[in-house]
Structure 1
Amino acid sequence: MPIMLPASPGSTRNIAGVAPQLLASLRGVPSDLGPARSAVLVVADGLGAIPLRAHAGHARTLAGAMAKKDVAGSVFPTTTAAALTSMLTGAAPGTHGMVGYRVRHPQRDVLVNQLTEWESAGVDPLSWQPVPTVFEQATAAGHPTFAVGVAAYAGSGFSRAILRGAEFQAAKSPADRVALAWELADAHDGALVYCYLPEADKAGHKHGIDSAEWVVALEEIDAALAARVPDGVGVLVTADHGMIDVPAHRQLVLDAAGGWHDGIRHIGGEPRMLHVYAEPDADHGTILARWRRDLEGFADVVSRSEAIEAGVFGNAVTDAARARIGDLLVIARSNHALYDGEAADQRGRSMVGQHGALTPEEWRVPFIRLGAFSR
């Protein structure tokens, strides 16, 4: 079964190209961004291009700077662990190995949350994600590097996997983080500064992207980015993925009573893109055929080999990444979501805004230039 990746209209730009473009801008090498005295990468987590345009009246700074072609494609799956790692290494998930939200640790045969369970699962960020980060590459070339984010994320396993090489500095509000990023870029010529804004993603998960709460988060981000960019500093505003609202009646619960766990050892991933791991002695072909039949209209179901052959994880897949990918991948269609009914933690079923699959709402993200990067 072929898998078709969506295209960014008028562009083949992808977030995996951000890291090399930022480095090129600091070296004065021709690129899509152009040269800059210092560079700031602002990531508004979860802010898709389509929802941003739909709410342009609440984001006059961003919408006003966003031309029709100022979009990029995310990676597969459209989830933070995979996408941010690609953005900050320049590598596809099949190379850096962060292939989903919750994936199986092959040696320990347990599911590991790629955002929060590094320490509890005893996973070493440097060996699990071995690709040099853009900050390590920039530092090696003599550039000061900084990561501005939320204090709670400092020193986490995920931060060590994707931000290593950068000096982490924390600030509370989006306005404070943006102001600090501008200050660092202005004070350190040749600097590469990363500024992380998770507010839209958090509001979207809890309330949905059409909610008043999400609009407030968008307005807060937009107001922060309205601050004047220092002379000579180039700013790129983008996102790791977008989001789509999933109403309760679009949820499908995969419970044991329905036979969904027959021959299945683990159900990982996230509700819009499951990694399904079969028992070692199970008939994988039979399971694949059954899941395809029973999920027709809800999701596309493909085998690991089909997904790799289709190139959804990139042109190359390392042995380590291959071992983490599910035997089956279940990619939600439309605005459906699929939940493991036997999981101990069912809190995720209260989420409204979700991502992980391949709809344009999840895949397309803004690629907005400010300051020295402006057209």
Structure 2
Amino acid sequence: MTGPATAGLPSDFVLPDYGRSTLSDLLPSVGAHLGVSGCDRDRLGLPVAQRYVVLLVDGLGDQLLRQSLQHTEYFSEVYGDVIPLTSGIPSTTATSLTCLGTGCVPGRHGMAGYSFLAPGGGQVMNALTWEGGPEDPHSFQPHATMFERLVQAGVAVESVGPARFADSGLTTAALRGPVFTGIDETDAQERIDATVRASRAGSRSVVYVYERSLDHTGHGRGVASSEWLATLTAVDAFAGRLREALDDEVCLLVTGDHGMVDVPPQRHILVEDVPSLQRGVDVLAGEGRLRQVWTRDVEAVRSRWGAELGERAVVTTREDAIEQGWFGPMDGQVRDRFGDVLVAMRDDWAVMSRALPGELGLVGQHGSLTEREMRVPLLVDHPESW
């Protein structure tokens, strides 16, 4: 079972085993094979190669993939060589991409979720759109990314993704360093051609490819929908075509950033309808599956939320979550970006708010610590090593 013991947590909750089997460990393991300073060991047991392509499929949870393998061709072929990973906490895109890009744990890089208090505590920032975020993403996340470290080691590094993401706040904070090749994400052949070209650069290379359609469909239609399955089939076909186009010397690594849980409307707990969930709350952020609460009366708010939600959630304080290892070692300068009280939902429940109307229409959701959300696959395909 991936992750350390989860004493005091429900049996279906997973804690990340930082330093051994998380998204934060992927690029440092690649770096160990490519001579990156400070990357002294391969934590994951990857094939030895001089060229790697990392395909990140947003929303590709391991349990979701396993239950759908019969509908895939390429993924079912390579799943036997899967390496089990987990996301960091929260199990959400902004945090996971920053774990991948920096090789750091959430408690170090400070990308505390989908939305959280910006540095200085003045306002809530949206990490995906960068609304409310600081003007300088470098100062927000000052640690060198793994891409920057790879470049410094003389590796040719390129990112292939939607053109509009080239200079976004999240890209700059979490994924800076590569040459960025903006593409039309609806044109599979353009993406494949760009990736193959980039993979042949220099004597050693790393290419990062981002695929977002599965997550988009899951949020809008749900992971139990025929539309989600059709999208998975299309992503599988793209990955298979990419593998065929890449040279045999290239090691293709396919992973995800989180899984997903379908949340029906009757499982929405609206904070505006529950007075005990409003008292003492200064700021509410995070995601429906992992709400973060800032308050001047931490223990009282924790107690009220715990009593109200009961078995539907694990309600804890930031300090207790840090002690349990949710975020890895915590740097003092990012501590306040994480909520004073953390509300991790179980089963298919979510805490929602009418003040966040854009979230009310989400079917598939993620962010909590359940196996379905936390576990992601790492599919490894290196023909020359088999």
Taking structure 2 as the reference length, the TM-score comes to 0.89
Tell me how far apart the structure 1 counterparts of residues 20 and 82 of structure 2 sit (CA, whole Å): 10
**Post-superposition CA distance 1:31-78 (Å, at most 9, x none):** 311221311111001110111111112221012101275321111110
Match of 1:266 in 2: 283
Match of 1:122 in 2: 134
Match of 1:351 in 2: 362
Q: Is the Cα–Cα contact under 8 Å of residues 8 and 364 in structure 1 kept in the other structure?
A: no
Q: AA paired with 2:302?
A: L
Tell me how far apart the structure 2 counterparts of residues 3 and 371 of structure 1 sit (CA, whole Å): 38
1:276 is paired with a residue whose SS is strand
Tell me how far apart the structure 1 counterparts of residues 87 and 170 of structure 2 sit (CA, whole Å): 19
**Post-superposition CA distance 1:174-219 (Å, at most 9, x none):** 4532342122102443111100000100110000112122122211
2:171 is aligned, of 159, 173, 176, to: 159
Q: Is the Cα–Cα contact under 8 Å of residues 127 and 133 in structure 2 kept in the other structure?
A: no
* CA separation of 1:126 and 1:373: change in aligned 2, threshold 3 A: farther
Q: Is the Cα–Cα contact under 8 Å of residues 159 and 209 in structure 2 kept in the other structure?
A: yes
2:318 is aligned, of 304, 309, 322, to: 304
1:15 is aligned, of 8, 23, 30, to: 23
Match of 1:6 in 2: 14
2:114 is aligned, of 85, 96, 101, to: 101
Q: Is the Cα–Cα contact under 8 Å of residues 33 and 373 in structure 1 kept in the other structure?
A: no
* CA separation of 1:68 and 1:13: change in aligned 2, threshold 3 A: same
Match of 2:149 in 1: 137
Match of 2:218 in 1: 204
Match of 2:264 in 1: 247
Match of 1:288 in 2: 302
Q: AA paired with 1:159?
A: T
Give the superposition deviation at 1:3: 4.3
Q: AA paired with 1:294?
A: E
**2:241 is equivalent to residue 189 of structure 1:** no
Tell me how far apart the structure 1 counterparts of residues 200 and 234 of structure 2 sit (CA, whole Å): 23
Match of 2:4 in 1: none
Extract unaligned runs of 5+ from structure 2.
1-6
Q: Is the Cα–Cα contact under 8 Å of residues 178 and 225 in structure 1 kept in the other structure?
A: no
**2:96 is equivalent to residue 83 of structure 1:** yes
Deviates further, 131-140 or 364-373: 364-373
**Post-superposition CA distance 1:77-114 (Å, at most 9, x none):** 10111111111111100011111111112425211011
Q: AA paired with 2:294?
A: Y
Tell me how far apart the structure 1 counterparts of residues 384 and 264 of structure 2 sit (CA, whole Å): 39
Tell me how far apart the structure 2 counterparts of residues 373 and 18 of structure 1 sit (CA, whole Å): 20
Extract unaligned runs of 5+ from structure 1.
none
**Post-superposition CA distance 1:305-360 (Å, at most 9, x none):** 1111111100x10112211111100000111111123x1x3121111111000111
Tell me how far apart the structure 2 counterparts of residues 320 and 3 of structure 1 sit (CA, whole Å): 28
Deviates further, 74-83 or 212-221: 212-221
Q: Is the Cα–Cα contact under 8 Å of residues 81 and 380 in structure 2 kept in the other structure?
A: no
How many residue pairs are counted as aligned between the two chains? 367
- The percentage of counterpart residues that share the same residue type is 33
**Post-superposition CA distance 1:196-251 (Å, at most 9, x none):** 00010011000011212212221111111112131211111001111111111111
**Post-superposition CA distance 1:127-146 (Å, at most 9, x none):** 11112111100011011111
Q: AA paired with 1:354?
A: Q
Q: AA paired with 1:203?
A: T
